[in-house]
């Protein structure tokens, strides 16, 4: 695109961007030029030369050597000070307000984060609690057991547990979470499994037909440990169940089962 003659012509005008003449003397504080920071004062734009620099400014101070102009300068300075002071106060208030708002925002954000953290922790606790409850629940070794003989003296000797009549081959389950501490044949018990549970209680299953665990195995509530039978000193297919709190002497299983929500 070629330059138009008028465009070039404008640039050929000498001193087009210089001040046409020197202005009056300006007070020291006025030197270097300044811009009043409010909209009202924005029009008052002065340089050391006294020339206007902001062509859009609606008011130009032409300070060409009269006393009136000196008074106008003082008035302008006073106005400048007043506006500046007002702005400074406003700025301080605004800064304080925005600090307060920011502090509130941070506090709310921290609250939300803490709330979320609490929820996660509560969920984890609930989950752990549910897991623990599940691990510590108690079940009967057999389903549909028929009580046939109780704990106590029987035919001149101590019967250490409860008997439950059940067909040979009925699945036998761990009563809770525990460890197999004995699995094998033992005298009158025939095939016998002992489980030590999480609370120290030991259960004994006697006269079993088959054993599906070995010593040291970990079991969960309901895990299969074998099947019921008629082995050892037994007069008919049944489960002989003993309960030994803390692994000590056998107790009457009936009240213990009741205490554990069984039977």
Closer CB to Zn ion, 173 or 240, in the complex = 240
Both tokens of residue 71?
Answer: 């008074």
Q: Hey, is 155 helix, strand or coil?
A: coil
Q: Could you list the beta-strand ranges (E) of the chain.
A: 34-35, 45-46, 146-149, 152-154, 157-159, 162-165, 171-173, 178-185, 191-197, 202-211, 218-219, 224-228, 238-244
Closer CB to Zn ion, 190 or 221, in the complex = 190
Closer CB to Zn ion, 52 or 209, in the complex = 209
Cβ 248 to Zn ion shortest distance, Å: 19
Closer CB to Zn ion, 45 or 202, in the complex = 202
Cβ 159 to Zn ion shortest distance, Å: 6
Cβ 163 to Zn ion shortest distance, Å: 4
Nearest to 170 by CA among 235, 231, 239, 217: 239
* CA separation, residue 96 to residues 87, 88, 91 (Å): 14, 12, 8
- H or E stretch at 259: helix 253-259
Alpha carbon distance 210, 74 (integer Å): 113
Alpha carbon distance 112, 106 (integer Å): 10
Contact partners, residue 184, CB within 8 Å, separation at least 6: 191, 192, 211
Closer CB to Zn ion, 221 or 242, in the complex = 242
Nearest to 35 by CA among 23, 52, 22: 52
Closer CB to Zn ion, 5 or 152, in the complex = 152
Cβ 189 to Zn ion shortest distance, Å: 9
CB 149 within 8 A of CB 163: yes
Q: Which residue is nearest to Zn ion (CB)?
A: 240
Residues at the site binding Zn ion, with contacts judged by CB under 5 A = 163, 240
């Amino acid at each position: 695109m070629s330059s138009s003659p008028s465009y070039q012509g404008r640039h050929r005008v000498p001193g087009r961007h210089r001040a046409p003449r020197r202005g009056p003397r300006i007070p020291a504080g006025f030197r270097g030029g300044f811009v009043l920071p409010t909209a009202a004062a924005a029009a008052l734009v002065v340089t050391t030369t006294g020339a206007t620099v902001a062509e859009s400014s609606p008011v130009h101070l032409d300070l060409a050597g009269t006393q009136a102009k000196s008074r106008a300068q003082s008035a302008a300075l006073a106005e400048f000070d007043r506006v500046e002071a007002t702005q400074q106060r406003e700025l301080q208030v605004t800064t304080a307000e925005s600090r307060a708002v920011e502090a509130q925002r941070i506090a709310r954000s921290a609250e939300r984060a803490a709330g979320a953290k609490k929820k996660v922790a509560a969920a984890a606790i609930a989950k752990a609690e549910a897991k623990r409850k599940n691990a510590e629940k108690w079940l009967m070794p057999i389903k549909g057991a028929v009580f046939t003989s109780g704990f106590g003296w029987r035919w001149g000797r101590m019967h250490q547990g409860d008997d439950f009549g059940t067909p040979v081959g009925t699945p036998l389950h761990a009563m809770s979470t525990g460890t197999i501490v004995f699995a094998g044949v033992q005298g009158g018990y025939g095939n016998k499994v002992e489980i030590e549970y999480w609370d120290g209680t030991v259960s004994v299953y006697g006269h079993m037909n088959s054993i599906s665990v070995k010593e040291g195995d970990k079991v969960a509530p309901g895990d299969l440990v074998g099947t019921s039978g008629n082995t050892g000193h037994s007069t008919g297919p049944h489960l002989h169940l003993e309960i030994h709190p803390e692994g000590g002497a056998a107790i009457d299983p009936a009240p213990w089962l009741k205490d554990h929500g069984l039977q």
